[in-house]
């Protein structure tokens, strides 16, 4: 049963590890705010009050990338972002559509395993991406 949230709970930011059929991981370059612009992240966004993480992720991917996608399973762990915010990551599957940078991003890139560290990930995303990769290769 879901538990009620309290005002002191951190805001959960849910992000997707999306893979294409060739095993490439989708990375998105932020266009805002200025202190994050130009850095790369896993696409997603904040869970709204009363919303499930899975629903939030599907909504964010629809709004930001224009795709229908579903979370498949959660990557174990939780990573601190700015104060009061934590990142959770879900391996997710595209159901329909081709991701486009509609909102919050100005470039998307599908990265092969060899290319994963060729982009400038947000510092706080690095441990999350490592965990994602650990699971992919296990």
Ligand X SMILES: Nc1nc2c([nH]c(=O)n2[C@H]2C[C@H](O)[C@@H](COP(=O)(O)OP(=O)(O)OP(=O)(O)O)O2)c(=O)[nH]1
Please state, in angstroms and rounded to a whole number, the distance separating the CA atoms of residues 11 and 87. Answer: 9
CB of 124 to ligand X, least distance (A): 5
Please give the residues from 108 up to 127 whose contact with ligand X meets the rule CB under 6 A.
122, 124-125
Confirm or reject binding of residue 104 to ligand X (CB under 6 A): yes
Dihedral over Cα of 40, 46, 52, 57: its sign: negative
Under rule CB under 6 A, how many of the chain's residues touch ligand X? 17
Please state, in angstroms and rounded to a whole number, the distance separating the CA atoms of residues 37 and 42. Answer: 14
Confirm or reject binding of residue 26 to ligand X (CB under 6 A): no
Question: How many alpha carbons lie under 13 Å from residue 7 in its C-beta half-sphere?
Answer: 0
Please give the residues from 32 up to 91 whose contact with ligand X meets the rule CB under 6 A.
36, 41-46, 60, 81, 85, 87
CB of 71 to ligand X, least distance (A): 14
Interacting residues toward ligand X by CB under 6 A: 13, 15, 36, 41-46, 60, 81, 85, 87, 104, 122, 124-125
């Amino acid at each position: 049963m879901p538990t009620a949230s309290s005002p002191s709970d951190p805001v959960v930011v849910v992000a997707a590890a999306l893979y294409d059929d060739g095993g490439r991981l989708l990375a998105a370059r932020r266009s805002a705010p200025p202190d994050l612009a130009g850095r790369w992240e896993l696409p997603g966004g904040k869970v709204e009050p009363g919303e499930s993480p899975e629903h939030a992720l599907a909504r964010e991917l629809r709004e930001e990338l224009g795709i229908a996608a579903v979370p498949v399973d959660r990557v174990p762990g939780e990573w601190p972002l700015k104060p009061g915010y934590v990142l959770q990551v879900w391996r997710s599957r595209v159901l329909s559509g081709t991701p486009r940078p509609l909102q919050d991003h100005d470039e998307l890139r599908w990265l092969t395993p060899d290319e994963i560290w060729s982009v400038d990930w947000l510092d706080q995303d690095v441990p999350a991406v490592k965990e994602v990769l650990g699971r992919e290769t296990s």
